[in-house]
Chains A and B, each alone.
Chain A
Amino acid sequence: EVQLVESGGGLVKPGGSLRLSCAASGFTFSSYSMNWVRQAPGKGLEWVSSISSSSSYIYYADSVKGRFTISRDNAKNSLYLQMNSLRAEDTAVYYCARDRVVTPGFFDYWGQGTLVTVSS
């Protein structure tokens, strides 16, 4: 059974940093691209970032480019999102999601999400 479990969310002040993790199990993690998708409270879904299976290809939404860094450790079956220079508008539930195909955006499995709150 595919499982994705996010962690690392919490309350952080504007300008602060946070590192999210996603632990994967039930599939060959090193064979799949992975993504972060977020959802602000009461709002819709927004893709944040994607990383290919070998980390060769990395993409970001314009809203986080230069502030967020996606990475992965295939030996640990883990996905990460380093978030710096956080803003109030980054407040959201952050989901990790597996990509079924090579091109980013076919999200076939999702974690339960971790809440990031940016507030003073």
Chain B
Amino acid sequence: DIQMTQSPSSLSASVGDRVTITCQASQDISNYLNWYQQKPGKAPKLLIYDASNLETGVPSRFSGSGSGTDFTFTISSLQPEDIATYYCQQYDNLPPRFGPGTKVDIK
């Protein structure tokens, strides 16, 4: 099974700050990597697919990059409504596996 790691596990930033989360796969997954946002008490929401493609309707301040084993998720200017936990997830191989999540809050 492919293992996914994320860092940091949590972060606190100010409104307007640039926020970066990294995700690493235990083996090459090409670009079969998605990013999800989960707000408290809500279902996850797909933000970025195939490592760098913005899902329709998602604000352009969200972006993703990377391929192989190392990936990055960025919020270019943090907004109050971005408070959530963010998960990376690989779908190159079964089982699909999520990273442990990164909790983002406002400083």
Contacts and interface: CB of A to CB of B under 8 A. Distances in A.
B91 A45 contact: no
Contacts of A47: 95-98
Interface in A60-117: 61-62, 95, 100-101, 103-113
Q: What's the interface size class on A, roughly?
A: 20 to 34
Interface string B73-107: 00000000000000101110011111111000000
Interface of A is mostly: loop
Contacts of B44: 45, 95, 107, 110
Given A44-B87, A103-B91, A110 B43 contact: yes
Scoring A44, A95, A110, A113 by chain B CB atoms within 10 A of each residue's CB, the highest score goes to: A44
B39 interface: no
A103 to B, nearest CB: 6
B43 to A, nearest CB: 4
Contacts of A95: 43-44
Contacts of A113: 43
B45 A110 contact: yes
Given A95-B43, A105-B89, A44 B100 contact: yes
Contacts of A44: 87, 98-101
B94 A106 contact: no
Contacts of A103: 91
Given A45-B87, A105-B91, 11 more contacts: A44-B99, A45-B44, A45-B101, A62-B95, A103-B91, A105-B96, A107-B89, A108-B46, A110-B44, A111-B43, A112-B42
Going nearest first, the 6 A-B pairs with the smallest beta carbon separation are A105-B91, A105-B96, A110-B43, A45-B98, A47-B96, A44-B101
